[in-house]
Amino acid sequence: MSPSYRPRVLFLDTLEEVWQEMERLGVSKQGLDIMAPKGLFRAVRLSNIPAAQANIIKQGMLSKGGEAAVNWTCYLAEQGSTSDLLLLGTLRHYRRLLANLRAQPPSLGFAPLVQALSDVLLRYEGGSLGNMALAGRRFDWGRRTYIMGILNLTPDSFSGDGLLQGDDLLQAALAQAYRFAEEGADLLDVGGESTRPGAEKVPLEQEMERVLPVLERLRREVDLPLSIDTYKAEVARAALAAGAHLVNDIWGLRQPEGEGWNCELARVVREAGVPLILMHNRRARATVGDLGGHYRQVEYDDLLGDMLADLQQSVDFAVSEGIPWESLILDPGIGFGKTPQQNLVVMRRLRELRSLGRPLLLGTSRKSFIGLTLNLPPAERLEGTLATLALGIAAGVDIVRVHDVQEALRAVRISDAIVRGGRARESE
């Protein structure tokens, strides 16, 4: 009888997993230290590297056993020319490359690049994002996934759950907030203007009339952190005074119309000393059909690369305006400024956003890319939504924004138990 070799390909995504697999084999401690970093392969892209530096990096990576792809014109090293780089290697290759670059003469200017590359590798590997205090609660990023319940104080929400449809908006909002709290929500997101593709803008005064009375009551009666979903500085200022604890800006501090930054909203957030959610978004012409609004054409040179660059710009602007980096949460903006197919690509490559080093919020609940994929209306998109939540948690998201809190909680708990290694049930 021939031996049973039982060959299998392992899925090892963290150093801890590689380490554990080697320990099972009885590898020595010295061997673990040497070999574990060889067990994780990473593809890292760098942009706008001067040709001379790019050639040094390429040769350095090759000499360590890795690989580096550059634009072929880089070899000409013409004055002022640059190239993007695609580095391919294990963590051990990167560590040896970084050591090599640190040893280069200071005049070559590698120090900022070495720091940036070190930081992005650490962030992607899940370096601690710390914690955030909100309304007396501590959010420990990476410990478990938190649930944000949606309160749409509008008559025209894409999902059909707009609360401004009966005679008493306040009571309807309170009833839903009580239910979300009982079902296990960790925080609530209150919005007074529909942001679905093709929605009409709401006048400032009308938005305030919708959200302020609700926030004032929720602050007194519901023991949960409250987010105000707005890009208008005046609404944010009044909402924070009425009881909101953080601001959720779908435009990532960019002006909704035209170019430039929303300096006034940044000032409001800075002066209030509250956290800020920065979402990725782009202006595009909306298409409204039977299955909801979406975007048929949005141009990107490099979808994920452009998204990360846009979000990094929002982060840099926020920090330049005095908003602490530790107070920022990022949202990839699923359904905003992206076609249905682009949304699917972002979901598939979501873990790349971990490179930015901030907690991630995922808002996929009932969205049109699910409906268009499954040919289902908003009321029948629960299963599709739960699938996206599980995939998002596997990619490392920290908050999920949902319409169906009870069902989402169940999906989140089992996903956390699988992905976060038994740390899902946090004791409050």
Q: Point out the residues that are catalytic.
A: 367, 401
Residue of 314, 250, 330 whose CA lies nearest to 283: 250
Q: Report the distance separating Cα 80 and Cα 71, nearest Å.
A: 14
CA angle 115, 393, 367 (to 5 degrees): 110
CB burial of residue 84 (10 Å; 0-12, 13-18, 19+): middle
CB atoms within 10 A of CB 391: 17
- For residue 405, the surrounding DSSP H or E stretch is helix 405-419
Instruction: Say if CB 76 and CB 54 are below 8 A apart.
Output: no
CA dihedral 111, 116, 118, 122 (to 10 degrees): 160
Q: Report the distance separating Cα 31 and Cα 34, nearest Å.
A: 5
Instruction: Say if CB 226 and CB 251 are below 8 A apart.
Output: no
